[in-house]
């Protein structure tokens, strides 16, 4: 899905998505979640409104349009898929995975996501591959702690 949104716009939609799970979304709630001041949120929400992604009246709640709901759902699912890969294949802890998803989420396309899903399923169902990855990751982690980690080290499966 090609959203043609900026990373900032995607982040706002994602925050609105997560806040909406808890109830209605107000500018003050969104400002707190994003970590910015209310005028910045108001500008961003006005921009999303102009794009037809949300509805918002001054001092009212922020609601998704059908188009905005679809975009936000896609963004949330994309992030969940990336997090699944980072946790289940690369064995990152959930907190580290969350940080890494934030760094890469806007650069990954649908084809890569589909292939990552295939890879996750393959690794989960192939115990010998899972075991070998676990060994390699532990070995690389130990080498990294000793200052011997080499970027691009070969994995022998």
CATH 1.10.10.10 domain extents, the chain: 7-71
* Integer Cα distance of 53 and 84 in angstroms: 27
* Integer Cα distance of 116 and 84 in angstroms: 9
What does residue 70 show for φ and ψ, rounded to 5 degrees?
-60, -45
- Residue matched to tokens 């995975």: 97
Partners of residue 103 on adjacent β-strands: none
Residue range 35-52: average pLDDT?
Answer: 96
Given phi > 0 = left and psi -120 to 50 = alpha, else beta, which region is 59? left
Q: Would you say 84 and 97 are in contact if contact means Cβ atoms under 8 Å apart? A: no
Q: Angle 32-33-38 (CA atoms, 0-180°, nearest 5)?
A: 40
pTM metric for this prediction: 0.82
3-state secondary structure of 56: strand
| Tens of pLDDT, residues 92-151 | 999 999 999 999 999 999 999 999 999 999 999 999 999 998 888 888 777 767 665 555
* Integer Cα distance of 86 and 121 in angstroms: 13
Closest CA to 62 of 75, 48, 73: 48
pLDDT band at 78 (very low <50, low <70, confident <90, very high): very high
**pLDDT number for residue 137:** 84
CATH 1.10.60 domain extents, the chain: 78-145
* Integer Cα distance of 64 and 2 in angstroms: 18
**pLDDT number for residue 156:** 53
Which class does domain 78-145 fall in? mainly alpha
CATH node for 7-71: 1.10.10.10
Residue 55 per-residue DSSP state: E
Give start and end residues of each alpha helix (H) in the chain: 7-20, 27-34, 38-50, 66-88, 94-104, 110-125, 127-145
């Amino acid at each position: 899905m090609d959203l043609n949104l900026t990373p900032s716009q995607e982040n706002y939609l994602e925050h609105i998505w997560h806040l909406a799970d808890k109830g209605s979304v107000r500018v003050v709630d969104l400002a707190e979640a994003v970590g910015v001041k209310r005028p910045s949120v108001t500008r961003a929400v006005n921009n999303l409104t102009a794009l037809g992604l949300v509805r918002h009246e001054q001092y009212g709640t922020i609601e998704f349009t059908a188009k905005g709901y679809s975009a936000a759902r896609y963004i949330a699912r994309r992030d969940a898929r990336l997090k699944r890969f980072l946790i289940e294949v690369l064995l990152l802890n959930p907190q580290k995975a969350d940080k890494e998803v934030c760094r890469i989420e806007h650069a990954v396309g649908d084809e890569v996501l589909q292939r990552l899903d295939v890879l996750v399923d393959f690794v989960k169902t192939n115990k010998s591959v899972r075991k070998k990855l676990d060994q390699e990751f532990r070995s690389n982690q130990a080498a990294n702690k000793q200052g011997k980690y080499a970027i691009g080290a070969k994995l022998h499966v």
